């Protein structure tokens, strides 16, 4: 097994040679057992690579979505969100997650969260951890026809140029999830990044 770490350095971070070197204390735990899991899991993400938000419009809520047909193709019809990360950089000011059911009504909306790089705002939330009020525990069940959406809000009056999607600098409104359940079979991809 090999692990590779990629560190992206946002333009908002100020690197000064006189400062102490930054220590990366992030990580993850691996558990090895002799018993197979009850169900398989997959890492699923979605974002909007075509995002382009013009300045001078006041508060704009941008939405990245995972269309129902893409979600069903990738996840089947019997899966649950086990953990979630609502990813932004530091230009968006608020973010939240929503599920719109097949009939067009809102099935779930998460509490609004802050953005940026402060402790706790860039975390993967395990839904089995009941310390996240407003999120179901231990999982969020998905249904056939669900549309998944991450909303990100920005005050465009603070922008001096078009806000675009970008890995280096600029901004992202991206959702990353760990999804598991009976329909996550070994024949399906275990990592998916999708956009409309």
pLDDT score at 101: 95
pLDDT score at 42: 84
| Closest by CA position to 113, among listed 142, 150, 149 | 150
| Closest by CA position to 97, among listed 106, 109, 107, 88 | 109
| Closest by CA position to 50, among listed 158, 175, 174, 192 | 174
Domain 41-194 CATH class label: mainly beta
| Closest by CA position to 93, among listed 175, 157, 46, 161 | 157
Identify whether the C-beta of residue 62 lies closer than 8 Å to the C-beta of residue 51.
yes
pLDDT score at 100: 96
Strand partners, 83: 126, 178
What does DSSP say about strands 191-194 and 41-46: parallel, antiparallel, or unpaired?
Answer: parallel
| Closest by CA position to 49, among listed 30, 34, 36, 62 | 62
Segments of the chain scoring below 50 in pLDDT: none
Token pair belonging to 147:
């549309």
Domain segments of the chain: what residues? 41-194
Q: Does pTM surpass 0.95?
A: no
pLDDT score at 137: 85
State percent of the chain over pLDDT 90.
40
Q: What is the pLDDT of residues 152-172, one digit of tens each?
A: 999 999 999 999 987 655 889
Q: 127-149 burial, b for 16+ CB within 10 Å, e for fewer? A: beeeebeebeeebbebeeebbbb
């Amino acid at each position: 097994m090999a692990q590779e770490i990629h560190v992206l350095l946002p333009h908002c971070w100020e690197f000064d040679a006189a400062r102490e070197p930054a220590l990366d204390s992030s990580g993850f735990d691996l558990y090895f057992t002799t018993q197979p899991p009850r169900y398989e899991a997959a890492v699923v993400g979605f974002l909007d690579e075509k995002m382009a938000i013009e300045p001078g419009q006041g508060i704009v809520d941008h939405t990245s979505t995972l269309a129902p047909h893409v979600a069903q193709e990738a996840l089947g019809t019997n899966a649950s969100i086990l953990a979630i990360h609502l990813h932004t950089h530091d230009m968006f000011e608020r973010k939240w997650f929503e599920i719109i059911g097949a009939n067009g009504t809102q099935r779930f909306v998460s509490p609004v969260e802050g953005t940026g790089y402060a402790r706790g705002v860039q975390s993967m939330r395990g839904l089995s951890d009941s310390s996240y009020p407003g999120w179901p525990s231990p999982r969020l069940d998905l249904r056939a026809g669900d549309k998944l959406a991450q909303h990100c809000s920005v005050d465009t009056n603070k922008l001096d140029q078009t806000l675009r999607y970008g890995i280096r600098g600029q901004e992202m409104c991206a959702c990353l999830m760990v999804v598991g359940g009976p329909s996550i079979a070994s024949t399906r991809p275990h990592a998916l990044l999708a956009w409309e």
